[in-house]
A and B are shown apart, each in its own frame.
Chain A
Amino acid sequence: MKNKQALKIKAKRQLVWYSFLIVSIVTLIVLTYIPMLQSVRYSFFDIQVVGFGEEKFVGLQNYEKIMNNASFLKSIGNTFILAFLSLVSIPVGFILATLINNIGKGKWQSFFRVGYYFPNIITGVSVVLIFQIVLKANGGLLNNALSFLTGQDVTIGWLSDSHFSRFGATILSVWGNMGYAMLINLASLQSIPGEIYEAAEVDGANGLKQWWYITIPQMKSCFAFLFITSMINGLARFTDLFIIGGNTSAGRPGGTLQTIMMYIYQFSFETPQYGIASAGAMILFVMTFVITLINLKMTGFFKKNKL
């Protein structure tokens, strides 16, 4: 009798917790998992435009084709190169955060916090438009500045020469993301307990040593977090590169900026081969999933949270 009562209470508790989750779970199933299963299905079919024309089951052929396709492999390479390059925003953000932290709390600090975060807010087509001019080969602002500094005539096509385009695209992303990296770094810096530094000072450690032996280790998980989020964002990078390429998914210039997402888009809509696009999407999904798992492992999710 008592057992039953206890069971009932337990069951009720379960229901209460599930009542918090149910809406999100249902939404995810209906709006993400079911469409995803559709995509999985399409990836086994020879299909051009969904809903039109014949669908022919081809098994793993789409995967075979895509894995043998030089452009797809190149787009995976591009995606990772761009994602790694965009990690520059982390050290940049850290340096900024350190400088801003050192001026102490006050009006100046919040001024810089806002100022440096601003580029993160303003995104979209217009920014790319401006950067196309800032980074243009002939008389662009950056080249002008470089010419002035080096005393030589610099004409690098940051967004138009395939040798430099990845750097140009990185300038764009670092500009947009360093504010976020700075903010997170700053928050982490400020949450390092002051006593550690005091103790170190007593032991006679100088500023540089403190920085190396205390600050950096304390920031480890912050860096890990930024690393993972930047990587995941990098894997899904699409819009700005699409605009740089003149509103095509070819990854202009020279295909160097074609990411996996752009490849998928190209085969979804521009040269419709939905089966191939879906296979690409599945491969991208698996890659992001693995990275997310690594993320959870690195942040100690599996150990600490006794879920």
Chain B
Amino acid sequence: MKNYKRVLAMLMGTMMAVSALAGCSGTDSQNGSSASADSSVTESKQDEQTTPADDSSGGAANTELSGTLKLYGPGLFTDVGPDGNTDIVTGVSRPGYNEVLERWKELYPNVDVEIETIPWDNWKAACQTAALSGDVDIVLHGSSITSICEPLTEYLEQDPEVKDAVGMMAMRKNSDLAPLDEYVPYGLTVTVNPVMVVVDKEIFEHYGVELPDYENWTTEDVLALAEATTGTDPVTGEQTYGMSLIEAASANKNYIWASRAFNNVIYQWGDTLADTTVNFKNDTTKEVLDYINAFTPYTSPDYFEGLDTNNAYTEANNVAMIIIEDAYNAYNTIKAAGLEDKYMMAALPKIQGGEFDGITSSHMGDWNMAICNASQQKDLAWEFMKFMVTDEVVQQWLLDAFSIPANKEASGKLSGYMPSDYADAISYVVSTSPLEFSASANSCYDSSNFGTFANDLTTVINEMYQGNMDADEAMDYVQKNLDDYMSTLS
């Protein structure tokens, strides 16, 4: 009997606790958002704060701007956390983002910045939903979701020095704002990730193969070297493999560089996307797909499960060339293992023909910031983004956090951080990569405007690797989905 009274009491208690909790935090979040939503409150705050500041004017601090900026998204801030983190294997520590915020506070004492970090898993879904709350000013890595972002064209015209300072911007296409063969900047790139080839010099030496001259090698050279370094190592007697492409789960990324190297232009841009024609099915595409697939005999059977590079950057490494997207991490791992002399980095082969003839086909990934178009304080958001790519303290912080800054001056300092065997190749890619170019929306490959194109490419490249498709079937598959998608545009 008593028991059930107790149960009932507990239930009541819980219910009350829950409702109290919901109530309390409800007001909490209202307080939080009032800064941005209720402009009259912000103004009055601003008055209070600027008056005393005017008396003590002096120093570089900007006290005119005030408010609370909210940043939301995945990437570097998540990786390092507020107080920094230490990688458990390499043992290298990276400083936390509080350092950035401290610097910001020095410059803009009246602007609070709140960073909400999320992991990469399901990040697109999370960012889109968070943007709906109207409580996000900057979407970290947001430029891929153009519909929630503000184009930056006007801001860049206002502050032309920003464009000069960076070596890359997050470009997309939007027929409403610019012809489709041109780019619209949607995000300010903070750090870049050039796609690099890690070369095991020892394996090359064992086979008596000359190291690549990465500023001049061609796609054929890469294939030939992969072939030459596959087999039984003449010195160690171990099985080695010539190549580890970008992991199978993102096989589309191999298509990005290969299609660029072959200058396989597939888009004929019209006035709008609907008028654009996509000729994916053509002879060059076939060449590209066959080229990627030609590496199959020179890759480890563990490649497909992403396990072939488990021993990379150790003494037991058995892959001569590894294509990677996170050059700095790779270098750190190598350095921590004390193997700096064993490896070098190279750029991907040069582009043959077309607009970019002769430069490397290595593209760059990035980590960018974009202004959420639901934000009430876009100018303030721009101010912060500008700060992220131009402020010297921040650039130093980025380098210390083992990132390659998009800021050209800062990325030039890379040679102070790693030996020339690594820094030179990275700098080569960073400096040759055209500013007006986007790896995710260009004339050979566009993953942002053509539906499931990227996923479909991954699918067919994997299928070819498994021997379940040939290049013709692969092209039919992708072209069919493209046509399907294009028919939905009207």
- Write the residues of chain A forming the contact surface with B, with a CB cutoff of 8 angstroms: 48-53, 65, 68-71, 132-133, 136-138, 155, 157, 159-163, 245-255, 265-266, 268-273, 276
Q: Are A254 and B463 in contact (CB under 8 A)?
A: yes
State A220–B59 Cα separation when bound (angstroms).
83
B302 interface residue per 8 A CB criterion: yes
Q: Are B459 and A252 in contact (CB under 8 A)?
A: yes
Q: Chain B residues near A251 (CB, 8 Å)?
A: 459
Q: Are B120 and A272 in contact (CB under 8 A)?
A: no
Among B120, B463, B481, which residue has its beta carbon within 8 angstroms of that of A70?
B481
Closest A residue to B466 by beta carbon equals A161
Q: Chain A residues near B121 (CB, 8 Å)?
A: 247
Q: Are A50 and B132 in contact (CB under 8 A)?
A: yes
Q: Chain B residues near A255 (CB, 8 Å)?
A: 459
Tell me, rounded to whole Å, the shortest Cβ–Cβ distance linking A149 to chain B: 21
Q: Are A246 and B147 in contact (CB under 8 A)?
A: no
Closest B residue to A243 by beta carbon equals B121
Chain A to chain B contacts (Cβ below 8 Å), 18 pairs: A48-B147, A49-B131, A50-B128, A51-B131, A52-B374, A69-B484, A71-B452, A71-B484, A137-B305, A138-B300, A155-B301, A157-B466, A160-B462, A246-B306, A247-B249, A269-B122, A269-B128, A271-B452
Q: Are A161 and B305 in contact (CB under 8 A)?
A: no
Closest A residue to B462 by beta carbon equals A253
Tell me, rounded to whole Å, the shortest Cβ–Cβ distance linking A141 to chain B: 13
B156 interface residue per 8 A CB criterion: no
Q: Are A266 and B455 in contact (CB under 8 A)?
A: yes
State A124–B455 Cα separation when bound (angstroms).
24
Q: Are B304 and A254 in contact (CB under 8 A)?
A: no
B49 interface residue per 8 A CB criterion: no
Tell me whether A254 and B462 are in contact in the complex, defined as CB-CB below 8 angstroms, given that A52-B148, A52-B373 are known contacts: yes
Q: Are A160 and B248 in contact (CB under 8 A)?
A: yes
Closest A residue to B126 by beta carbon equals A269
Q: Chain A residues near B158 (CB, 8 Å)?
A: none
Scan residues 293-318 of chain B and give those whose CB is less than 8 A from a CB of chain A.
300-302, 304-307
State A251–B148 Cα separation when bound (angstroms).
26
B75 interface residue per 8 A CB criterion: no
B29 interface residue per 8 A CB criterion: no
State A51–B133 Cα separation when bound (angstroms).
10
Q: Are B147 and A162 in contact (CB under 8 A)?
A: no
Q: Chain B residues near A157 (CB, 8 Å)?
A: 304-305, 466
Closest B residue to A125 by beta carbon equals B121
Among A133, A160, A250, which residue has its beta carbon within 8 angstroms of that of B458?
A250
Q: Are B484 and A70 in contact (CB under 8 A)?
A: yes
B468 interface residue per 8 A CB criterion: yes
Closest A residue to B249 by beta carbon equals A246
Known A138-B301, A161-B466, A270-B455; further 12 A-B contacts with Cβ < 8 A: A50-B132, A70-B484, A138-B305, A246-B247, A246-B306, A248-B458, A250-B458, A253-B459, A253-B466, A254-B459, A271-B451, A273-B488
B145 interface residue per 8 A CB criterion: yes
Q: Are B455 and A248 in contact (CB under 8 A)?
A: yes
Q: Are B301 and A250 in contact (CB under 8 A)?
A: no
B250 interface residue per 8 A CB criterion: yes
Q: Which 7 A-B pairs have the closest CB atoms?
A: A246-B249, A250-B455, A138-B301, A269-B125, A49-B147, A136-B305, A160-B304
Q: Are A137 and B248 in contact (CB under 8 A)?
A: no
Q: Chain A residues near B305 (CB, 8 Å)?
A: 132-133, 136-138, 157, 159-160
Q: Mark B267-309, 1 if CB is under 8 A from A, else 0.
A: 0000000000000000000000000000000001110111100
State A250–B121 Cα separation when bound (angstroms).
15
State A254–B468 Cα separation when bound (angstroms).
9
Among A49, A65, A253, A266, which residue has its beta carbon within 8 angstroms of that of B463?
A253
Tell me whether A71 and B481 are in contact in the complex, defined as CB-CB below 8 angstroms, given that A157-B304, A246-B249, A250-B458 are known contacts: yes
Among B124, B249, B302, which residue has its beta carbon within 8 angstroms of that of A136?
B302
Among B148, B250, B484, which residue has its beta carbon within 8 angstroms of that of A246?
B250
Q: Chain B residues near A48 (CB, 8 Å)?
A: 147
Q: Are B301 and A248 in contact (CB under 8 A)?
A: no
Q: Chain A residues near B342 (CB, 8 Å)?
A: none
B206 interface residue per 8 A CB criterion: no
Closest A residue to B120 by beta carbon equals A247
Q: Chain B residues near A249 (CB, 8 Å)?
A: 455
B480 interface residue per 8 A CB criterion: yes
Tell me whether A252 and B458 are in contact in the complex, defined as CB-CB below 8 angstroms, given that A136-B302, A161-B468 are known contacts: yes
Tell me, rounded to whole Å, the shortest Cβ–Cβ distance linking A267 to chain B: 9
State A172–B132 Cα separation when bound (angstroms).
36
